[in-house]
């Protein structure tokens, strides 16, 4: 039931069936982490059937802005999927789900731990026996056991509890939430990686397995290099703002026209940077002979660089620095970066009809992925999905009449 390649003109479209063509994914997730994971799979050819509860995925309401009633938050992570609205709180709905799982390779869900077991469709008790090749990925806040097992988790809460807020910001701001929902996105990425690992292992064993993915664990996995520093020196990491805690110069600097970020990671680059700025004696200064000394004497070095860089056109300077081998770039706003020439060249903005979104960053030579269809409307493919799984027109009509399949959000 995988959609054919799109024929409508657009940008960042899928030009092949994809590396995951033939993979069938049942997606019971809502909000962000799970949907982001399944969108990655769908970008690369997996058939993803998104099963929504009767009230729908709540992020359909997380706007403005909206397109025909669906919020940008939903639109941004649900392309290439088919939507079926199913009431799994009823036995008849769960019976439909079990029909859909026949022949499925992956099930992804983010219900509260224990929900699937309460409904009589837990992995270990039921699904693993009925569908031994199934890879079941559960995404939750904290997992199903332990001191916080079963408790709800949201991105910002995990940012706080996992220490991410404590290393973001600076002394004047205090702990600061990262502007992008980094924990949700990372959980989606780690879940996708875990699913592909399990599918690879299935090639050898013939068996699926259960993946226990949590926002808590994935959030903590992002604590580098702060956790590594703490394990070695025993000190509590501090928020350093833009400067890197372990490298200098590695920070944001103001120029005459804009702010730029310079990332100098080794001695040859520092020498090249100083020569480029007409400061050839700076690497010989006893305060700045090594990276460790430059970190210790960061304030003195930054004062020199601030004075020198303030005279420059930042956009032109950053471009010249980058082309000379010194990592540097202007600090752009979102509207500027999505309109940039290199963004277009890399097809990192994708378009299909009314739909615009961020393109897939995974570029493959033989099996390129990309956009195949716009994000689905609520239950847009319900009847077609059921028909493809052997339900008759009469059975489909009965499921709709009894509220098992839902046409309009409740």
The catalytic residue positions are 184
Burial environment of residue 70 by CB neighbours within 10 A (0 to 12, 13 to 18, 19 or more): buried
DSSP string spanning 235-281? PPP---SSS-SS-SSEEEEE-SSSEEEEE--SHHHHHHHHHHTT-TT
What is the separation of C-alpha 85 from the centre of its chain, rounded to a whole number of angstroms? 24
The b/e string for 365-387 (b: 16+ C-beta within 10 A; e otherwise) is eeebbbbbbbbbebbbbbbebbe
Task: Report d(CA 350, CA 142) in Å as an integer.
Answer: 34
Pairing of strands 210-214, 135-140: parallel
User: What are the CA-CA distances from residue 388 to residues 41, 107, 393 (Å)?
Assistant: 21, 18, 11
| H/E stretch holding 202 | helix 182-205
User: What are the CA-CA distances from residue 372 to residues 1, 74, 110 (Å)?
Assistant: 13, 17, 25
Residue 282: closest CA among 255, 309, 260 = 309
Residue 47: closest CA among 30, 23, 64 = 23
Helical ranges in 32-136 per DSSP H: 33-43, 72-75, 91-101, 115-118, 128-130
Task: Report d(CA 241, CA 185) in Å as an integer.
Answer: 22
Task: Report d(CA 50, CA 27) in Å as an integer.
Answer: 5
Task: Report d(CA 403, CA 209) in Å as an integer.
Answer: 32
Which residue is it, tokens 């938050």? 73
Write out the two tokens for 15. Answer: 């030009």
Residue 68: closest CA among 349, 355, 359 = 355
């Amino acid at each position: 039931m995988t959609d054919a390649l799109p024929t409508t003109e657009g940008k960042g479209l899928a030009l092949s069936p994809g590396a995951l063509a033939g993979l069938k994914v049942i997606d019971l997730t809502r909000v962000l982490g799970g949907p982001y994971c399944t969108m990655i799979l769908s970008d690369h050819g997996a058939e993803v059937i998104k099963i929504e509860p009767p009230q729908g995925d709540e992020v359909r309401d997380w706007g403005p802005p909206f397109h025909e009633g669906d919020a940008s938050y939903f639109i941004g992570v649900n392309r290439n999927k088919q939507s079926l609205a199913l009431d799994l709180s009823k036995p008849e709905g769960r019976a439909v789900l079990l029909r859909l799982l026949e022949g499925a390779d992956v099930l992804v869900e983010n219900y509260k731990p224990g929900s699937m077991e309460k409904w009589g469709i837990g992995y270990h008790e039921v699904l693993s026996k009925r569908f031994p090749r199934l890879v079941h990925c559960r995404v939750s806040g904290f997992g199903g056991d332990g001191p916080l097992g079963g408790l709800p988790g949201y991105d910002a809460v995990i940012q706080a509890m996992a220490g991410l807020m404590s290393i973001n910001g600076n002394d004047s701001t205090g702990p600061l939430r990262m502007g992008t929902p980094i924990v949700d996105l990372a959980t989606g990425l780690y879940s996708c990686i875990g699913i592909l690992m399990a599918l690879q292992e299935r090639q050898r064993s013939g068996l699926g397995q259960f993946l226990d993915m949590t926002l808590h664990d994935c959030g903590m996995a992002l604590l580098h290099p702060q956790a590594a520093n703490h394990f070695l020196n025993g000190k509590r990491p501090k928020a350093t703002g833009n400067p890197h805690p372990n490298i200098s110069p590695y920070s944001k600097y103001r120029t005459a026209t804009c702010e730029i970020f310079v990332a100098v990671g080794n001695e040859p680059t520092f020498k090249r940077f100083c020569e480029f700025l007409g400061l050839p004696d700076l690497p010989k200064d006893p305060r700045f002979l090594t990276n460790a000394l430059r970190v210790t004497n960061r304030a003195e070095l930054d004062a020199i660089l601030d004075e020198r860089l303030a005279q420059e056109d930042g956009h032109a300077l950053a471009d010249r620095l980058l082309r000379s081998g010194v990592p540097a770039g202007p600090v752009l706003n979102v509207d500027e970066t999505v309109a940039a020439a290199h963004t277009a060249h890399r097809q990192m903005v994708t378009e299909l009809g009314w739909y615009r979104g961020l393109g897939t960053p995974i570029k493959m030579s033989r099996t390129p992925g990309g956009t195949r269809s716009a994000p689905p409307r609520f239950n847009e493919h319900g009847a077609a999905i059921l028909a493809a799984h052997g339900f008759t027109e009469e059975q489909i009509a009965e499921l709709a009449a009894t509220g098992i399949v839902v046409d309009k959000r409740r």
